[in-house]
Amino acid sequence: GLIRKPAAFISTICDERGQELSYCGVPITQVLERQLGVGGTISLLWFQRELPEWACKFFELVLIVTADHGPAVSGAHNTMVTARAGKDLISSVVAGLLTIGDRFGGALDRAAADFCAAYDRGQHPQEFVNEKRAKGELIMGIGHRVKSINNPDSRVRELKAYVTSRWPTWPVTRYALDVEAITTRKKPNLILNVDGIVAAAMVDLFRHCQLFTQEEGNNYIQMGSINALFVLGRTIGLVGHYLDQKRMKQPLYRHPWDDITYMSPLH
Ligand code: ACO
Ligand code: LMR
């Protein structure tokens, strides 16, 4: 019989061999004709299924509101400094992306895991906050450097309005909002931030909206697929900052001495 060489790779999301490229079995012309959009493309290539319109539109909403948050944040700053050091687009964008993590823009996965676990074990939000405090841990998805209850984040407001009106059920988002109600009593800037609201909404999408099995939902939460939304969104802004610096032919950046405290141990 025919002896096949075992394949070195298995791929399940995209096939470019036939006449027409297909995303998870859907020919590209259909993706276009049916106007599945960027959200539908994410749905096929990341989650191997056609999620409903309300979920795909949510991905697009997240991409729009996370696309940029000004030049002062870690990611944009790194991209601008790198561009001004004469580096190319990919180096500059990657330099910005590398700042994404637990403190900045990359708190979604851990926020999702923590909110999900606390909700699953039926822990009261106050107990959750107390436990985190007792362990000396920050609550992922809570807190912002400049936004607060007195200076609300309109991105969070829009995302919250979308989820609470379009999700069939959103218990973990409710849980995260209950946590916010407690933390903002301590300090007004301890709001549910962009990372936190997207994380909670995605847990609801994976776990409570009957679109994924329990195991699939848990796996996607653990794999890093929620941070991916911020990474993809913010890449739009980082490209913008790179082009902006190049367009204006900005010179090499050197940080001013008067903004650095030199504290050599010998003096
Ligand atoms: N959970 C519990 N307590 C917190 C949290 C938190 N997430 N964030 C700050 N605090 C407390 C601090 O312990 C501190 O308490 P203290 O005054 O009793 O010492 C107080 O609030 C002020 O803390 P700062 O570090 O000054 O807060 P800052 O404004 O610098 O931090 C930050 C902002 C980095 C976002 C922080 O809140 C944090 O790390 N949050 C968790 C990670 C997160 O969600 N990051 C994503 C932010 S949104 C984005 O990047 C798109
Ligand atoms: C962002 O989207 O970059 C932020 O919310 C972080 C910030 O400090 O503005």
For ligand 2, pick from 155, 194, 230, 235 the residue to mutate: most ligand atoms within 8 Å of CB.
194
ipTM: 0.96
pLDDT at 267: 61
pTM of the model: 0.96
Q: Which residues does ligand 1 sit against, CB inside 6 Å?
A: 102-105, 107, 138-145, 187, 189-190, 193-196
Q: What is the pLDDT of residue 226?
A: 97
Phi/psi zone of residue 174: left (φ > 0), alpha (ψ -120 to 50 degrees), beta? alpha
Per-residue confidence (pLDDT) for residue 108, from 0 to 100? 98
Cα separation, 15 vs 25, whole angstroms: 8
The predicted structure's pLDDT at residue 2: 76
pLDDT at 45: 98
Kindly give, in sequence order, each residue whose CB lies less than 8 Å from that of residue 39, ignoring residues fewer than 6 positions away: 55, 56, 57, 58, 59, 60
pLDDT score, position 4: 82
CA dihedral 76, 79, 85, 88 (to 10 degrees): -150
Segments in the chain below pLDDT 50: none
* Alpha-helical runs (H) found in the chain: 28-33, 37-47, 53-66, 74-84, 89-97, 108-120, 125-135, 154-166, 171-186, 194-207, 214-223, 227-247
Residue 65 three-state SS? helix
